[in-house]
């Protein structure tokens, strides 16, 4: 056999083995810590609840041999927001999950919500982002490190959200699962998936969400958050949503690790739109036909689907979902073939690309498509 061909075959085999053995890396971020107590009401302290819950989430995830868990903190220490991003990016994480508790002057406010990075002028969302971002004032030279950021300025909060659209669609997928699993595991009010400008999410180069598990300012809900039983239920919900996301986008042929009978559906981002008003995308296909595509981007900008706009990739299609335009590469009937398209997209620089599937023109899960 030609020596050059032999070397190429060996390299190809190594590449396949590496792809099969690479792990899903989850970065868990317990909000606040050390001198930063977070929200404190009725004797409950946010930093303690966040840490205890994160450790419980990590313990569940670490039972899966395909998962590596990275923690931004595992004890009561102060970690700067920039350092949290550095830890996440250096670890080359698959997803970043920041866990917090909410608070409000209106102490009757209750429920859980999950945020993705984005632009919003919604007053309540801005207030939550402002509250979580105020930790930067405990850091030295924070205005230099965060480009003049002022936590009291709505313009600063909105400004850090611009150009943060990469990974947005995957972040929404993950956030929707978090909210659905909260609904399964707890009786708390589901406040949905929302967008806001969080500094801790600003420079993280992976799908990322910030979870507000409930309100410590609400005496009853705060007691639940502060209890061992409450933290276990919340941890089960968060870990379950992460496992569900992993099985969909990382190894879709693997069955769910946790035993849940209820179907998990993603939640639209906050646009005052109900699920009925925002149906699943419809793509023209033949009857009973399964089609796989590679989603390479989601943006608020509408672009012509020409190769020059997509790093030379041809066969680009576009769908509109709410205010977002989603861009796809290729359209094939074979999952194996779609994996080749995915690799091509990643080689072109679309590192956050992922595969989506349709049956009869309706978007379905990858695992259902393969079955």
Q: What is the CATH number of domain 19-249?
A: 3.40.630.40
Residue 195 near residue 273 (C-beta atoms within 8 A): no
Backbone torsions φ then ψ of 68, nearest 5 degrees: -110, 130
Question: Domain extents for the chain?
Answer: 19-249, 279-370
CA distances from 202 to 27, 159, 182 (A): 15, 10, 25
Res 142: pLDDT: 41
| Per-position pLDDT tens, the chain of length 371 | 454 444 444 343 333 333 334 789 999 999 999 999 999 999 999 999 999 999 999 999 999 999 999 999 999 999 988 889 889 989 989 999 999 999 999 999 999 999 987 654 444 444 544 454 454 445 455 443 444 444 455 443 433 343 355 678 888 889 999 999 999 999 999 999 888 767 777 778 889 999 999 999 999 999 999 999 999 999 999 999 999 999 888 765 544 333 344 434 444 444 333 333 334 444 455 566 899 999 888 776 788 888 888 888 999 999 887 667 888 999 999 999 999 999 998 888 877 788 888 988 888 888 788 87
What's the rounded Cα separation, in Å, for the pair 145 and 137?
A: 11
CA distances from 88 to 72, 83, 165, 180, 268 (A): 8, 9, 18, 25, 26
pLDDT tens profile 275-303: 333 344 444 555 668 999 998 887 767 88
Q: Which CATH fold would you assign to the domain 279-370?
A: Alpha-Beta Plaits (3.30.70)
Comparing 19-249 with 279-370, is the CATH topology the same?
no
pLDDT tens profile 312-364: 899 999 988 766 788 899 999 999 999 999 999 888 887 778 888 898 888 88
Find the angle CA(338)-CA(301)-CA(332) to the nearest 5 degrees.
Answer: 15
């Amino acid at each position: 056999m030609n020596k050059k061909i032999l070397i190429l075959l060996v390299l190809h085999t190594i590449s396949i083995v590496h792809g099969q053995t690479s792990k899903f890396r989850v970065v868990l971020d317990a909000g606040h810590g050390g001198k930063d107590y977070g929200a404190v009401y009725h004797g409950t302290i946010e930093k303690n609840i966040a840490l205890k819950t994160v450790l419980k989430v990590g313990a569940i995830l670490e039972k899966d041999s395909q998962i590596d868990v990275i923690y931004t903190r595992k004890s009561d220490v102060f970690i700067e927001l920039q350092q949290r991003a550095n830890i996440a990016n250096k670890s080359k994480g698959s997803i970043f999950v920041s866990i917090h508790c909410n608070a409000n002057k209106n102490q009757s406010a209750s429920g859980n919500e999950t945020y993705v990075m984005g632009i919003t002028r919604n007053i309540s969302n801005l207030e939550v982002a402002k509250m979580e971002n105020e930790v930067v004032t405990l850091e030295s030279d924070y205005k230099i490190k965060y480009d003049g950021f002022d936590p009291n300025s709505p313009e600063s909060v909105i400004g850090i959200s611009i150009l943060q659209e990469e990974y947005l669609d995957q972040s929404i997928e993950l956030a929707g699962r978090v909210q659905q699993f909260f609904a399964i595991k707890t009786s708390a009010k589901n406040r949905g998936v929302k967008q806001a400008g969080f500094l801790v999410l600003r420079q993280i180069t992976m799908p990322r969400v910030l979870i507000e598990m409930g309100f410590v300012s609400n005496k009853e809900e705060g007691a639940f958050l502060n209890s061992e039983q409450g933290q276990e239920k919340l941890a089960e919900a968060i870990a379950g949503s992460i496992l569900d996301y992993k099985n969909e986008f990382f190894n879709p042929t693997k069955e769910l690790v946790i035993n849940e009978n209820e179907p998990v559906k993603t939640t639209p981002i906050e646009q005052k739109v109900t699920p009925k008003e925002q149906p699943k995308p419809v793509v023209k296909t033949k009857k009973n036909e399964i089609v796989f595509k590679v989603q390479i981007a989601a943006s608020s900008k509408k672009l012509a689907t020409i190769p020059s706009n997509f790093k030379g990739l041809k066969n680009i299609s576009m769908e509109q979902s709410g205010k977002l335009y989603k861009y796809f590469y290729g359209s094939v009937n074979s999952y194996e073939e779609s994996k080749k398209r995915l690799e091509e997209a990643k080689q072109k620089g679309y590192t956050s690309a992922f595969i989506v599937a349709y049956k009869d023109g309706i978007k379905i899960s990858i695992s259902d498509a393969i079955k």
